[in-house]
């Protein structure tokens, strides 16, 4: 994007900033101070920490270098709410975030509002030169806030799942309609373009229409957008790890036209899938034995029935809903048992570039997959989908300059890529080229399974 | 004690119950809901858990079996707030108590008041027969509540110590006056009586005055009691592990007339005491190396000065205050370095039977050793004092019948006995025969060092 | 003992030294170099290490300070074969002893013979002054060698037990005769003498015959000694931890007249003893759950039968043989289940002082309890017997001066005392005052259970 | 290859089998039984285990199904020497392999010879039909044996490195000549063929000569082969993970013309490379901190000098020799510090297809990099070279059918690919398409660093 375009966009930026920050606070409305303070495991953070850390991000990377005379809300917060930016300084130990009872929730809210006030001041008055400087930092800050909107929900759900009272803070979803037999979209392979479009590209969403590279029967979806969730007046954003756009050689493959359901997954369990090492990666089998895993996270067996915990409380498992809270190990074992495999991240991305994501299924008061998302837009925003691709740099990858260069690149070992997005991913955050990544044993994210196979 | 005496005591019991329960709530007044929810390590519990567990104790052991028609406040609490009573049922995992954000602090307070209302009802109307049945359970419940009054403070201090903001909730204590040279009380040894007096004994505090068994120069202390802290109208209480009273053969020994100070302990550090394995128990040296221990808990080194965290915040270390938050391993290493040893629990108890404890130094708004406690009443209630005695049953020991039999006996391995009491121990809880016990590496309790030696 | 006596004893010392050292080598005859090299767990050591370490002991504490011009066999061995003497220097990490393939078995044997040659030289020519200096070191070195004779067998058995081929190096023992019902020896309590007799005492084995302190029906055993195992012409030896002899007040108690059998213990298992936490110490229950313990070490369940591994291979469990390879936790749980308890170490010692140990049951080619040891001499030398006493210093205890002061005292935490001796303990090593000690979870030693109770 | 060709090859197969098996035994000649028994860490295996496991492989996969009437040497070995083949049955715990002292080295040798005798019988008489069936199993068995020839050396070196006597079993290598400045080979990128050639291909070693895809200045090496190491009369072999051959799109890049030296790596250390988290992957930094890594494995600092342990003993570090025993984490940190990166496995393979590997540098009596390997043939067989590629399946990858399908595929998570081979890799085992793989923290393999960069 050009400087001119950004300069014009000062109003849209301010509006996007305010809407994004407001949504975060909307999400935590039903929570007590206790709910916001506790931490259930080292991988998860307290809600309050998410509220503070996202503010720390704007304070550290935007306000301090760009707003003359800006005074930090509390100098100790630089240490307390730095996540992993070694360039900025030492970090408070991650596993002990739940011990930070002070600052309390009110002080953290005051911190947010202090930052918001100064961000508003900065964005209201800023010159084209300044906006140009903020070119990549502003959308990065918003994307970062959106990531934490999702993470605070996954972390909260994990925290509540430990509580034998099974707290409910959302309303239950309706039963899913029975699924039809699995269909397949076919693709003949070839050399395709992967990665986010370069800034100067004519179209922000680039679809490869060359006749030889096509999904034979993948419909072109179009959904009504909810304008409140997408910032259509802003240039599109991408992380450094989605670049550079480059060519990848695909071979003929097929993608399933929907996600694997709870009922299908239960059949895998009934068939002894968790007891046969031949379905599993070696590391996955060791994990399953060490952790005594025999079912997806949040499933409970009571009175010979499956139950599931969600933010709506404990309820009978819906066999037609897509299976979720699945590790890469389980997803691969399931696929192996079916005689299929997971897609590569490139196969997935090329398929997804055909489809425009919808945000009609994102509802911050529900925070679970809903029946209407069972349609083909699951390609994007019902559940994150594990791919068989390990998280590696694209050819010519360069981390961003400065401290934000620690955002993505340093995690490129021992992680698998998930694609798509989920029912709790802010819609603005969903795009074909997006690369989410987690270690193979991760289960507390909203992760599911889409089958693929060689054609 | 006899049934008649208990029957008369219905009023005093109710009053003692109410005062004890009130004091617990007084202690947590300065705390936010977050402060009450968090847990800093598996050995420590959230403040809120202490509030609920002590109520669970009365509900489970007193109300359910004795108050007809009593209805549990919430059946799930039986699991959630059971500490370690296998006879009652399974327990929620100790290390995850900090994840229980619901019930919140208000619900836990409501739980307390529900129990209090029914305890008041029970104690107001109860017949002599019932009070007879409650004979041991009521004082056990109060002693239990007092133990948790102390523990919630130690746990809170540990929690706050992790917070780099070093929260302060009490007022700082005044500087200690310089100590004089260590003096010694001498005892010639002999066969002495150890353990709590039998119920029918003429005097509740039995002092051995036989001329041959004496501390040659231990003065007989008498302090003004604060009547609000001691329930003088109730029969004295003792745990099962203080029984039976029995004879122990002592050999000539001497006890130091005051506790080791921070300054004296700093000299041990300066002399390389933490670096010479010859001072240490083998297990202690392994612990010191594994945990990289080089100073007492809550000491910090900044700008070539020692600082200490307490509930009053971070402050310069007072060289004249008694050293505290010391493990048995450190206490033994220090004693070895001095050419001395720790007392046995029997030597300590026999000395203590000469002295009446004071409660003038207990101040729930201070919660730290104070200068006036530097006098000889440190024998009792400045800091718990490690002994060289491992925690073992007395000859003829019998655990209480029923579930409360799990209170003490099952912990008789891998623990050392501490004697005395501390500045945060409710005065009613302090007596010569009291046996506190913790693993040798424990440091977050208010523990200190008194020297002893063979004579 | 006096210098004169030692001086005369130069011949006996030399003979005792040579016999003791020879017996060690006899024990390892059936072993390959591989058998001698491997280490099965950090608590156990390779056989070869035992062979070298006992030689290191004589080299370091006897030869280097006392034999002018003695030159170390290999300076590197000081580090390699030091067990835990910090006064001597750093130690090679215990858990990695199995990685030391060089020096090989032949070099270690050469090391032994180098030391033996110089020890012979020293003991043959030495003056009364020198022998006086060796007064305590020589017998300590022999006792040390005997301890390692026992340990190398326990360690070897543990190593072989891991091997699914269940190697056999000894001959099987004959079936035990059925035991009769358990009888009890009764004692009225009183003030008794505990600990090794002082050197100048008229009798080396002191028996308390005062009429009021007696076991009412404990017979006075006398067995034929095998002169080859006891060094009757040498003064008796005791470790520093058996001193000083002092008075202990006993209360009326009874001791079982035989050990608990495999059959009796199997009944405890059948009754669900491993599944009821109420029988167990709290730490013991946690250990049992964490390690998934459900039977004694070396027991296997095959085809609904119990089997046991011993150095004679895998064989059906003999229901009449005494149960062995039991932890303190299991011994206490069993006793609790029976309504009994374990003896204190003082009760045990006082009973044992009545009986003279036999060495008729020690057979270096069998190395397992035998049927004839099922008689009352089990009091001593069938299996070590856990006591309820934790390992603490006696009143007035002083460690030996110098490096050998690390032998015993620094282990006085988190250990329980075992008394008696076992079928693999060199007979010279067995006496009433001997205090063996191990952590409560220890099972690879030859440990069993004798019941006790209050009278 | 065709059945006819195999049938003719019965003689070559037998010869290759015998030569390969003999070489294994040659390698262990200098070792004692103790050396062959011990295990230094769970990742490493005893030498004796390697000797037995490779025999187990032929017995299980070749003899049992194909030699009528073959009787297993010892049925227990199926369990004892199975590495990780769940299809075959349970496996003896890997971390305890060092506890298996029996069978001893002589029995294991007898096992080898029993298998050899029957393999000779099978290969001497077998029909074309049978040889056809052994088509893939025979070369797999030989490749497997070669892998273990390498592993037993790495494991032995690790074992000896723990021994403070630093055993030497080979002769020291000569000093390396000083290296010249690093040069670069340049490649313009494009679509290239990756993976082993399909069986029917005209040439077994396929070199891409298309003018547009070339290393501008990479010379075409040709070395004299040592015929004893390569089985030129046999069809070439490849693992399933090298298939299918497929196209990969490369972008312009450059490869360093030699490996990084010890001296260059020491400069990284001197510059604080181990102390700056910004050079490191996040997981790598956590590893470096947790394990307190500050230098390559086998480096020691003594008297302000670097020393290195190798199988020739402890010697001063040669600054001109290539740095080795490096983890992927360290290799990436070094590259980052230099402003370069590691090659992808595809870039490496495409470069290597230009060059024919030499076996002139393989010397089973030296087992360390030698000065003459400092030339460009380091591309192949001086040290394994970490790539930035994580170990993933090629498009259309299918594991072998049957139990040998567990050989490669189930390890495709959390491993990075190494390419080339090393001074201890059997030359027959080295080829451009070979994919070695290890976890990122692995250091005991002969791994080094070659720089790459975008062009």
Q: Is pLDDT of D309 > 90?
A: yes
**Which region among A347-351, D355-359, D428-432 has the lowest average model confidence (pLDDT)?**
D355-359
Q: Structure tokens of B165?
A: 């903001």
Upstream peptide bond of C260 is cis (omega within 30 degrees of 0): no
Nearest chain B residue (CA) to A33: B34
CB contact under 8 A, B37 and A40: no
Of the pLDDT bands very low, low, confident and very high (cuts 50, 70, 90), residue C358 is low
The whole-angstrom separation of Cα B445 and Cα B442 is 7
Q: Is pLDDT of A244 > 60?
A: yes
pLDDT of A386: 98
* Residue D442, φ and ψ in degrees, nearest 5: -65, 135
CB proximity D277 to A under 8 Å: yes
CA D316 to chain centre: 26
The whole-angstrom separation of Cα D144 and Cα D21 is 11
CB contact under 8 A, B80 and A164: yes
CB proximity A33 to B under 8 Å: yes
CB contact under 8 A, B165 and A102: yes
Q: Is pLDDT of C331 > 80?
A: yes
Total length of chain C? 455
**Which region among A42-46, A57-61, B367-371, D371-375 has the lowest average model confidence (pLDDT)?**
D371-375
Kindly report, residue by residue over C282-307, the tens digit of the pLDDT: 999 999 999 999 999 999 999 999 99
The whole-angstrom separation of Cα D112 and Cα D99 is 20
Q: Structure tokens of B27?
A: 């202690």
Kindly report, residue by residue over B337-375, the tens digit of the pLDDT: 999 999 999 999 999 887 777 656 688 888 999 887 555
Q: How far is CA C277 from CA A382, C106, C262, C311, D86, in A?
A: 46, 51, 22, 33, 37
pLDDT of C3: 36
The whole-angstrom separation of Cα A97 and Cα B48 is 19
**Residues of chain B contacting A164 with CB distance shorter than 8 Å:** 76, 79-80, 92
pLDDT of B454: 97
pLDDT of D223: 37
Q: Is pLDDT of C138 > 60?
A: yes
The whole-angstrom separation of Cα B208 and Cα B187 is 12
pLDDT of B379: 78
Of residues A199 and C274, more confidently modeled = C274
pLDDT of D197: 84
Closest CA to D249 of A194, C320, A169, B358: A194
Span D307-323, mean pLDDT? 97
Of residues A179 and B226, more confidently modeled = A179
pLDDT of A5: 40
pLDDT of C377: 54
pLDDT of B295: 98
Span C325-341, mean pLDDT? 98
Span D56-68, mean pLDDT? 96
Nearest chain A residue (CA) to B75: A165
The whole-angstrom separation of Cα C179 and Cα C414 is 34
Query: Nearest Cβ partner of D164 from C34, C80, C163?
Result: C80
The whole-angstrom separation of Cα A32 and Cα B290 is 39
Kindly report, residue by residue over C222-231, the tens digit of the pLDDT: 333 333 455 6
The whole-angstrom separation of Cα B122 and Cα A165 is 29
**Percentage with pLDDT > 70 across chain B:** 87
Kindly report, residue by residue over D402-420, the tens digit of the pLDDT: 888 899 999 999 999 999 9
The whole-angstrom separation of Cα A368 and Cα B228 is 56
Of the pLDDT bands very low, low, confident and very high (cuts 50, 70, 90), residue A193 is very high
Q: What does DSSP assign to residue B322?
A: B
The whole-angstrom separation of Cα C279 and Cα B325 is 34
pLDDT of C234: 74
Of the pLDDT bands very low, low, confident and very high (cuts 50, 70, 90), residue B91 is very high
Q: Is pLDDT of B211 > 60?
A: no
pLDDT of A128: 84
- Per the prediction, chain B carries an average pLDDT of 89
Of the pLDDT bands very low, low, confident and very high (cuts 50, 70, 90), residue C4 is very low
Kindly report, residue by residue over D160-182, the tens digit of the pLDDT: 999 999 999 999 999 999 988 88
Residue D447 forms beta bridges with which residues?
Answer: D384
CB contact under 8 A, A454 and D84: no
**Which region among B132-136, B281-285, D199-203 has the lowest average model confidence (pLDDT)?**
D199-203
**Percentage with pLDDT > 90 across chain D:** 74
**Residues of chain C contacting D33 with CB distance shorter than 8 Å:** 32-34, 37
Q: Is pLDDT of D274 > 50?
A: yes
pLDDT of D221: 45
Q: Is pLDDT of B389 > 60?
A: yes
pLDDT of D232: 65
Q: Is pLDDT of A226 > 50?
A: no
ipTM of this complex prediction, to 2 decimal places: 0.93
pLDDT of D427: 85
* Residue A369, φ and ψ in degrees, nearest 5: -60, 145
**Percentage with pLDDT > 90 across chain B:** 74
Q: Is pLDDT of C153 > 60?
A: yes
**Which region among A100-104, A160-164, C233-237 has the lowest average model confidence (pLDDT)?**
C233-237
**Which region among A424-433, B218-227, C412-421, D247-256 has the lowest average model confidence (pLDDT)?**
B218-227
Q: Structure tokens of D207?
A: 């070199």
Of the pLDDT bands very low, low, confident and very high (cuts 50, 70, 90), residue B232 is low
CB contact under 8 A, A38 and B159: no
Query: Nearest CA to CA, how far is D5 from chain A (Å)?
Result: 32
The whole-angstrom separation of Cα C193 and Cα C353 is 10
Span B232-259, mean pLDDT? 90
Of the pLDDT bands very low, low, confident and very high (cuts 50, 70, 90), residue A328 is very high
**Which region among A15-24, A46-55, A418-427, C349-358 has the lowest average model confidence (pLDDT)?**
C349-358
pLDDT of A7: 40
Of the pLDDT bands very low, low, confident and very high (cuts 50, 70, 90), residue D1 is very low
**Residues of chain A contacting B103 with CB distance shorter than 8 Å:** 165
Span A209-231, mean pLDDT? 52
Q: Is pLDDT of A189 > 90?
A: yes
Q: Is pLDDT of C93 > 50?
A: yes
**Residues of chain D contacting C159 with CB distance shorter than 8 Å:** 99, 101
Q: Structure tokens of C356?
A: 């003279």
Span C260-271, mean pLDDT? 97
The whole-angstrom separation of Cα A96 and Cα A46 is 10
CB proximity A104 to B under 8 Å: yes
The whole-angstrom separation of Cα D18 and Cα C451 is 65
Kindly report, residue by residue over A347-388, the tens digit of the pLDDT: 999 998 877 776 566 888 889 998 865 555 567 779 999 999
Q: How far is CA D296 from CA D81, D448, D451, in A?
A: 32, 10, 17
CB proximity A96 to B under 8 Å: yes
Q: How far is CA B108 from CA A169, A397, B73, B80, in A?
A: 20, 54, 10, 12
Q: Is pLDDT of A3 > 60?
A: no
Q: Is pLDDT of B40 > 80?
A: yes
Which secondary structure element, helix H or strand E, spans residue D302, and what is its range?
strand D299-302
pLDDT of D218: 64
Q: Is pLDDT of A96 > 90?
A: yes
Of the pLDDT bands very low, low, confident and very high (cuts 50, 70, 90), residue A201 is low
Write down the residue that tokens 């039976």 correspond to.
B244
Scanning B213-272 for CB atoms below 8 A from C yields: 246-251
pLDDT of B207: 44
Cβ C74 vs Cβ C82: under 8 Å: no
* HSE-CB of B449 using CA atoms within 13 angstroms: 29
Per DSSP (E only), the strands in C260-345 are 299-302, 305-310, 313-316, 341-342
The whole-angstrom separation of Cα B276 and Cα B333 is 9
The whole-angstrom separation of Cα C63 and Cα C115 is 8
The whole-angstrom separation of Cα D182 and Cα D299 is 24
- DSSP symbols for A414-429: S-EEEES--TTS-GGG
Q: Is pLDDT of D310 > 90?
A: yes
Q: Is pLDDT of D373 > 70?
A: no
- Testing the interface with B: which of A38, A40, A47 to mutate, by most B Cβ within 10 A? A38
Span C374-379, mean pLDDT? 60
Can you list the alpha helix ranges (DSSP code H) found in C295-425?
A: 328-338, 345-352, 378-381
Of residues A321 and A208, more confidently modeled = A321
The whole-angstrom separation of Cα A378 and Cα A384 is 9
Kindly report, residue by residue over A267-317, the tens digit of the pLDDT: 999 999 999 999 999 999 999 999 999 999 999 999 999 999 999 999 999
Q: Is pLDDT of C201 > 70?
A: no
Cβ contacts of residue B28 below 8 Å, gap of 6+? Answer: B36, B47, B51, B152
Query: Nearest Cβ partner of B162 from A32, A96, A159?
Result: A96
**Which region among B201-205, B410-414, D223-227 has the lowest average model confidence (pLDDT)?**
D223-227
D220 by Cβ neighbours in 10 Å (0-12 / 13-18 / 19+) ranks as exposed
Query: Nearest Cβ partner of A278 from D87, D278, D328?
Result: D87
Cβ A255 vs Cβ A341: under 8 Å: no
Span D303-308, mean pLDDT? 96
pLDDT of C1: 33
Cβ contacts of residue D373 below 8 Å, gap of 6+? Answer: D361, D381, D382, D423
Q: How far is CA B120 from CA B13, B68, B74, B428, in A?
A: 10, 14, 19, 21
Of residues D437 and D131, more confidently modeled = D437
């Amino acid at each position: 994007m050009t400087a001119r375009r950004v300069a014009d966009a000062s109003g849209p930026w301010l509006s996007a900033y305010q809407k994004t920050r407001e949504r975060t606070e909307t999400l935590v409305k039903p929570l007590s101070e206790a709910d916001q303070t506790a931490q259930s495991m080292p991988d998860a953070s307290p809600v309050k920490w998410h509220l503070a850390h996202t503010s720390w991000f704007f304070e550290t990377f935007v306000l301090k270098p760009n707003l003359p005379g800006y005074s930090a809300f509390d100098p100790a917060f630089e240490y307390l709410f730095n996540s992993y930016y070694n360039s900025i300084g030492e970090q408070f130990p991650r596993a002990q975030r739940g011990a930070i009872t002070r600052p309390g929730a009110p002080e953290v809210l005051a911190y947010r509002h202090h930052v918001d006030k100064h961000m508003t001041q900065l964005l209201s008055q800023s010159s084209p030169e300044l906006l140009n400087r903020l070119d990549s930092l502003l959308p990065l800050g918003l994307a970062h806030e959106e990531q934490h909107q999702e993470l605070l929900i996954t972390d909260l759900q994990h925290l509540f799942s430990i509580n034998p009272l099974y707290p409910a803070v959302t309303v239950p979803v309706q039963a899913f309609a029975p699924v039809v037999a699995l269909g397949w979209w076919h693709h003949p392979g070839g050399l395709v373009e992967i990665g986010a479009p370069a800034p100067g590209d004519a179209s922000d969403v680039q679809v490869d229409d060359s006749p030889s590279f096509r999904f034979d029967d993948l419909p072109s979806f179009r959904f009504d957008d909810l304008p409140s969730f997408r910032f259509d007046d802003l240039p599109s954003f991408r992380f450094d790890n989605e670049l550079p756009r480059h060519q990848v050689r695909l071979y003929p493959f097929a993608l399933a036209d929907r996600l694997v359901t709870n009922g299908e997954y239960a059949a895998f369990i009934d068939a002894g899938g968790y007891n046969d090492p031949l379905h599993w990666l070696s590391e996955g089998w060791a994990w399953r034995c060490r952790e005594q895993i025999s079912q997806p996270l949040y499933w409970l067996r009571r009175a010979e029935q499956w139950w599931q915990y969600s933010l709506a409380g404990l309820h009978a498992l819906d066999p037609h809903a897509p299976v979720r809270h699945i590790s890469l190990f389980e997803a691969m074992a399931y696929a192996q048992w079916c005689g299929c495999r997971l897609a590569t991240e490139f196969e997935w991305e090329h398929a997804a570039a055909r489809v425009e994501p919808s945000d009609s299924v994102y509802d911050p008061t529900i925070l679970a997959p809903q029946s209407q998302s069972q349609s083909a837009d699951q390609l994007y925003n019902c559940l994150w989908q594990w791919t068989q691709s390990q998280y590696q740099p694209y050819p010519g990858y360069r981390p961003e300059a400065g401290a934000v260069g620690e955002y993505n690149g340093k995690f490129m070992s021992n992680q698998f890529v998930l694609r798509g997005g989920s029912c709790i991913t802010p819609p603005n955050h969903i795009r074909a080229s997006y690369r989410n990544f987690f270690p193979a044993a991760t289960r507390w994210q909203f992760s599911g399974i889409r089958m693929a196979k060689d054609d």
